[in-house]
Structure 1
Amino acid sequence: MNSTTAKQLDPDQINVILATDCGSTTTKAILIEKINGEYRQTFRGEAPTTVEEPAADVTVGVVNAVTEVGELAGRKLIDDNGEIIRPAQGDTGCDIYISTSSAGGGLQMMVAGVVREMSAASAKRAALGAGAIVMDMICSNDKRLPHEQIQRIRELRPDMILLAGGTDGGTLKHVVELAELIAPAKPQPRFGGSYKMPIIYAGNQEAAKLVEEAFDDDVKLMTVANVRPVLEMENLAPARDAIHDLFLEHVMAHAPGYNKLISWADAPIMPTPGAVGNILQTIAEQQNINALGVDIGGATTDVFSVFDGTFNRTVSANLGMSYSISNVCASATLPMILRWVHLDMDPRELRNHIKNKMIRPTTIPQTREALVFEQAVAREALRLAYIQHKEFATTLKGVQQQRTVGDTFSQNSSGASIVDNMKLNLLVASGGVLSHAPSMNQTAGMMIDAFEPEGMTVLAKDSIFMMPHLGVLAQVHPRAALEVFERDCLIYLGTCIAPRGLYRAGKSCFRYHIRSHSLKESGEMLCGEMKLFPLDEDEQATVTVEPGRGYDFGAGSGKRKEFQARGGKVGLILDARGRPLVVPTSEKDHLTELNSWIEELQLYPEPALTEV
């Protein structure tokens, strides 16, 4: 059964869905079944990924993971020939099979554009949105000499190149010069010389013929609609679709065993990050909310956001919790990490811990000190990744904007970040250090400290890293994907309510009134305080806040605001530490406040905090 047939299937006839995600180290499989008219995730299995020797066939790992799911479910999913059984009949087989993949290092791309801040930035957004890691960006104005750029193109072995530049009907010269720079460099694809390097041209359409003439038969050139047809607009979808098509046709087809996997799947295989972005976009659209998702891994941290319908994704390639932990410590600096540590720690031991984590990336903290330190590093990795994301997720640069009299006194808003914490409705966490923290309070604490949400923000985490599976399922069966996302994928931690406004020691920040079935509380929050109130998952509370002058919950400075807060595994958190978050300069005052936050949020219970 091919992908076109899958889309023609009556969604109501799809009762058993099998999905896999082939990661770089682990292949994860989940089973989704229709139970009493609702789709639920029922069983999960995993096995080592087998792209590399000795197996050198990705389907071996897939069959192993699916076999485990089948055994747990009491359902035979693999036949005697090692193939997935379809369609489902009784307790045998599944109706559709779908997959995502980041095995073999995922999708690695190089982008090229005429102006770094304009066409090249648009090309980079298209590549990142498709789930790629962008290895480098070549531009006419990137300060490298032509021979240095050619040398760089030769050194890199990307899976494909995206070339953009010029608005439609604009000047031809610059983008053609860029093509003439890439062509003689003879870029080589990552998976050897058995196929041609794919190049996607998404620039000035009038220059397409000249760009084509610049390349010879050593490359496979595909022309799609311009990513920046006019200065005021981006059109990223055609380039993203072309990246997905070439990812399947070229990159995946040359990785061991993928041809067989592609023939099994009922929908195109997507790069894992592209699928995660896809489900976040679907949720934001369906619920009409602004959402932010983060996936922190061993080597990289991915941040996804949807604000006012605009999707952005960034990859912070050197901010991770194992392979890149040294880089996090160097970028953030040790004092910034230690501001989250309430225990007395030996700097030498910390340095050893960092190096051990790099050479043994799969180890988990064995002591309380190690856990506190790793979670402190995670806060800084997330904070830095979010800063990078905000710098990238901007309004279009190079666009003249009409101004009112009021704008005359403000900074130029062209190129301003579209990420606004006050507008953020849902913050979703995934990745080992967040998903597998010993307590959910710790996950919530790390998210609030790193992202500094403002106004009212719902906090959630991906229960078993199911978002990639659901992202590709959303292409085939949106209803099933949404039902499973809401009921089984997300674990709601609760709600954070915090005002924007600077920390002023000892001053009153806001008054609050909380009303729910089980909770009736009123009080005052002083600057620097945090409070946690129990609020169950199926419970909502009406929270009224009355901020002091200089503090804003979204209605304006000093103006009263009412929220409907949803509960969760952690509860309702009121945060009066100020935004941006500043810790007291005095070490003694800081430790006192840090301990009060840890105690209030019950982050590290027993043994008692006697170390400070």
Structure 2
Amino acid sequence: MRSLNPDDINVILATDCGSTTTKAVLIEKIDGVYRQTYRGEAPTTVEEPVADVTVGVRNAAREIGELAGRRLIDDNGNIIRPARGKDGCDIYISTSSAGGGLQILVTGVVKEMSAASAERAALGAGAIVLDLIASNDRRRPHEQIQRIRELRPDMVVMAGGTDGGTIKHVVQMAELIAPAKPKPRFGSNYSMPVIYAGNEAAAGKVSETFDESVTLSVVENVRPALERENLAPARDKIHDLFLEHVMAHAPGYDRLIALADIPVMPTPGAVGDILQKIAEARGINCVGVDIGGATTDVFSVFDGADGKPVFNRTVSANLGMSYSISNVCAEAGMANVLRWVKRPMDERELRNRVKNKMIRPTTIPQTEEALEFEQAVAREALRLAYKQHKEFATTLKGVQQQRTVGDTFSQQIGGQSIVDNMRLNLLVASGGVLSHAPKMEQTAMMLLDAFEPEGVTELAKDSIFMMPHLGVLASVHPQAAMEVFERDCLVMLGTSIAAKGTGKAGRRCFGYELKGPQLVETGEMSFGELRVFPLAAGQTADVVIEPVRGVDVGAGPGKSLSVTIRGGTVGIILDARGRPLWPSN
């Protein structure tokens, strides 16, 4: 990889190789500030008959070059570097989820402890976890071995035991993997990569268990003590092996690796990186979501018990808007989908629409009725994915929490979710049904209905899904990534102020006073109401909210809130519908 000085980078070409489309953006330094200037896309060419991902990359780069009047690809198909006048770029970077992304099998001793930590490390690195096998997962050894043989992961991540703890059970897990001899998904001419991130005292015995069919890498324990996680070494090793083994054997990826100036990253890992950078730079808690055709990814960065930001990512593999739409309706229930449909639609019509979507999963809505149906399903997919995320993003299980006399009878042994909607500052949406909604208000309402933010929350969307590009850019030029993220990536929808608590419809919920540019409003909100006031992007307003007793808008139950908020394309949203929105939630 080239040695790069950020001061010498003025023109950046970035691509994201998705499963169907390769998306490219051009970022240029204009008047001392980095801006995204042009974008292009082309079909991904990882499958036969082309079987070379770089063909799609070059096609997307040529499209950008034509739009920008800049020659980016030379006659030999190479990316021209460095930039000279109207030729070339200073750096080329890429992310990838083509070919199904990064798929990992996770093993551990205790499912809720060491295995859960290993799963967090894998998900944080941008992987899809195919299965989690543990000593206490209630499967018999022969069933676990059969499951390992059935899967074709890109790599295996092993955890188990705190440092100085159990050795026997860790070795037993290795003795399950060794005879199963899992086969890698790509290529049959290399050994299965296995990362061991468990009890350091067991590393030697684990190594003795495997033969030459496995390439073993030993890193620091992901759970060195019950009350502490150490995920970074395992995540870094996953990225390294992703390049060395997985991508090196996928069609054309060896050429993509040679083409890029810095290591190629898995797309979800890059999205997680940029969200962490934003949370750190602004000192906020944030949640991001990417809803696709087959899966929904949820990312969160929240302050942990020690005040340090904690990053979590989950993949809801059966919650999507095309290939997984029937799973969404089955898991949510038809009644829950229908509650979001305003026009008359019975369950039979809803089922027919689901069946039509299953027959033609890649179609997009052509009528208002079809759009309303898809947005109703999207609300449930997002709600369920967020529910799963909150159940996963917890404090460490197995750790006795310090308690007071007041909670003697309600003690829990860890596992409380660190995702708190009242502490959520920024909610970012991406994915077709959210990013390409015809009206900004529709995106905002899907976020409010599905995530139910409480108190004061900024809403935004990544309209062209540029977060992966910026995530990998942040590793080499954080300033450029942050500037483009703030100015060109996010479309600010506005700020919601939502009341936590419930009350009888029509009863007073809170009073409000809004003061901003060309905006002076005072009034009262009743339970069940929702109002929108215009406040343009870049503008701010001073807001005072006076809730009734028992209602919390961010300052505590019944306490007045005074805050300055930012506007957006939708504006200020006052939500007095109460939380939770529905008893079943």
TM-score, structure 2 normalization: 0.98
Q: Which amino acid aligns with 1:191?
A: F
1:292 to 2:287 alignment: yes
- 2:240 maps to which residue? 245
1:267-286 aligned within 5 A? 267-286=262-281
Matches within 5 A, 1:153-302: 153-302=148-297
> Are the structure 2 counterparts of residues 253 and 204 from structure 1 closer, same or farther at C-alpha, using a change threshold of 3 Å?
same
- Cα offset for 1:346? 4.6
In structure 2, distance between residues paired with 1:24 and 1:364? 18
Q: Which residue in 2 is equivalent to 1:372?
A: 372
Q: 2:400, 2:413 within 8 Å by CA — same for their partners in 1?
A: no
Deviations 1:569-595 (A, max 9, x none): 0010000011111279xxxxxxxxxxx
Is 2:219–2:234's contact at 8 Å kept on the other side of the alignment? yes
**Aligned partner letter, 2:490:** L
Question: 1:122 is matched with which residue: 117, 133, 142?
Answer: 117
The residue type paired with residue 188 of structure 1 is K
User: Is it true that 1:83 corresponds to 2:78 in the alignment?
Assistant: yes
Write the mapping of 1:63-102 to structure 2, written as runs, cut at 5 A. Answer: 63-102=58-97
- Between the aligned partners of 1:312 and 1:572, the Cα distance in structure 2 is 29
Cα offsets for 1:235-275 (capped at 9, x unmatched)? 00000000000000011000111111101111110000000
Q: Give me the whole-angstrom Cα distance separating, in 1, the residues matched to 2:372 and 2:351.
A: 15
Work out the CA distance in 2 between the residues paired with 1:413 and 1:151.
Answer: 33
Task: Name the structure 2 match of 1:136.
Answer: 131
1:90 partner SS:
coil
Look up the SS of the partner of 1:476 in the other structure. coil
1:561 aligned residue: 561
The equivalent residue for 1:603 is none
Cα distance in 2 for residues equivalent to 1:185 and 1:502: 54
Structure 2 partner of 1:598: none
**Equivalent residue for 1:541?**
541
Which residues in structure 2 correspond to 1:108-507 (within 5 Å)? Answer: 108-308=103-303, 309-412=309-412, 414-507=414-507
Q: Compared with structure 1, are the counterparts of its residues 455 and 411 closer, same or farther at alpha carbon in structure 2 (3 Å cutoff)?
A: farther
Q: Cα deviations across residues 167-224 of structure 1 (Å, max 9, x unaligned)?
A: 0111211101110111111111111311111000000001000000011110110000
Question: What SS class does the counterpart of residue 382 from structure 2 fall into?
Answer: helix
Aligned twin of 1:595: none
Aligned residue identity for 1:210 = K
Task: Answer yes or no: is the 8 Å Cα contact 2:455–2:499 preserved in 1.
Answer: yes
Moved more, 482-491 or 499-508: 499-508
Which residue in the other structure is 1:513 paired with? 513
**Alpha-carbon separation, structure 2, partners of 1:398 and 1:413:** 6
- Whether the aligned pair in 2 keeps the contact of 1:323 and 1:359 (CA below 8 Å) is no
Q: Using the alignment, how far apart are the partners of 1:66 and 1:406 within structure 2?
A: 62
Partner of 2:46: 51
**Whole-Å Cα distance in 2 between the matches of residues 554 and 409 of structure 1?**
28
| 1:15 maps onto 2:33 in alignment | no
Give how far 1:352 is off: 2.6
Q: What are the Cα deviations for residues 306-349 of structure 1, in whole angstroms up to 9, with x where unaligned? A: 00110000000000000000000000001000000011125333
Query: Equivalents in 2 of 1:413, 1:301: separation in Å?
Result: 29
Equivalent residue, structure 2, for 1:606: none
Preserved CA contact (<8 Å) 1:503 1:582: no
Paired amino acid for 1:136 = D
Q: CA deviation at 1:564?
A: 1.2
In structure 2, runs of 5+ residues without a counterpart are 304-308
**3-state SS of the aligned residue for 2:475?**
helix
Distance 2:179 2:104 in 1: 18
Provide the rounded CA distance (Å) in 2 between the counterparts of 1:406 and 1:287.
Answer: 35
Distance 1:548 1:431 in 2: 38
CA contact (8 A) 1:539 1:566 kept: yes
User: For 1:178 and 1:71, how far apart are their aligned partners in 2?
Assistant: 55
Deviations 1:102-129 (A, max 9, x none): 0000001110000010000000000000
CA distance in structure 1 between the partners assigned to 2:546 and 2:347 by the alignment: 43
- What SS does structure 2 have at the residue aligned with 1:299? coil
- Runs of 4+ in structure 1 displaced over 3 angstroms? 346-349
Query: For the Cα contact (< 8 Å) 1:463–1:488, is it kept in 2?
Result: no
- CA distance in structure 2 between the partners assigned to 1:413 and 1:31 by the alignment: 50
Gaps of 5+ in 1: 585-612
2:306 aligns with none
Distance 1:414 1:139 in 2: 19
Question: Cα distance, 1:408 vs. partner?
Answer: 2.0
SS in 2 for 1:573: strand
Residues of 2 paired with 1:195 and 1:359: CA distance? 39
RMSD: 1.2
- Residue 413 of structure 1: how far off its partner (Å): 6.1
* DSSP 3-state at the match of 1:378: helix
Quick check: 557-566 or 402-411, which moved more?
A: 402-411
In the alignment, the residues of structure 2 paired with residue 539 and residue 282 of structure 1 have an alpha-carbon distance, to the nearest angstrom, of 24
- Cα separation, 2, equivalents of 1:62 and 1:551: 53
Q: How far apart are 1:409 and its partner, in Å?
A: 4.4
The one-letter code matched in structure 2 to 1:68 is E
Preserved contact between residue 149 and residue 181 of structure 2 (Cα < 8 Å): yes
> How many residues in Structure 1 have an aligned counterpart in Structure 2?
580
- Is the 1:458–1:495 contact (alpha carbons within 8 Å) kept by the matching residues of 2? yes
How many Å apart are 1:407 and its aligned residue?
2.7
Kindly indicate whether the alpha-carbon contact (under 8 Å) linking 2:398 and 2:413 is maintained by their aligned counterparts in 1. Answer: no
1:126·1:236 contact (CA, 8 Å) conserved in 2?
yes
What CA distance in whole angstroms lies between the structure 1 residues aligned with 2:438 and 2:338? 20
| Separation of aligned partners in 1, 2:281 and 2:56 | 34
Structure 2 residue matching 1:191: 3-state secondary structure: coil
**Corresponding position of 1:605:** none
1:457 and 1:497 in contact (8 A); partners too? yes
> Deviation digits for residues 23-43 of structure 1, max 9, x if unmatched?
000000100000000000000
Cα shift at 1:406 = 2.6
What secondary structure does 1:349 align onto? helix
Q: Given residue 33 of structure 2, which amino acid in structure 1 is its aligned partner?
A: E
Distance (Å, rounded) in 2 between the aligned partners of 1:346 and 1:579: 27
**For 2:49 and 2:349, how far apart are their aligned partners in 1?**
38
Distance in 2, Cα, partners of 1:85 & 1:572: 46
Indicate how the Cα distance of structure 1 residues 19 and 466 shifts in structure 2: closer, same or farther if over 3 A, else same: same
Q: 2:103 touches 2:128 (CA, 8 Å); kept in 1? A: yes
Alpha carbons of 1:523 and 1:583: their partners in 2 closer, same or farther (altered >3 Å)?
Answer: farther
Q: Deviations over 1:12-33 (max 9, x none)?
A: 2110000000000000010000
Aligned-residue sequence identity (percent) comes to 74
Over residues 64-123 of structure 1, what are the superposed CA-to-partner deviations in whole Å (9 max), with x where a residue is unaligned? Answer: 000000000000000000010000000000000000000000001110000010000000
Cα distance in structure 2, aligned partners of 1:179 and 1:62:
40
Following the alignment from structure 1 to structure 2, what is the Cα–Cα distance between the partners of residues 254 and 100?
A: 16
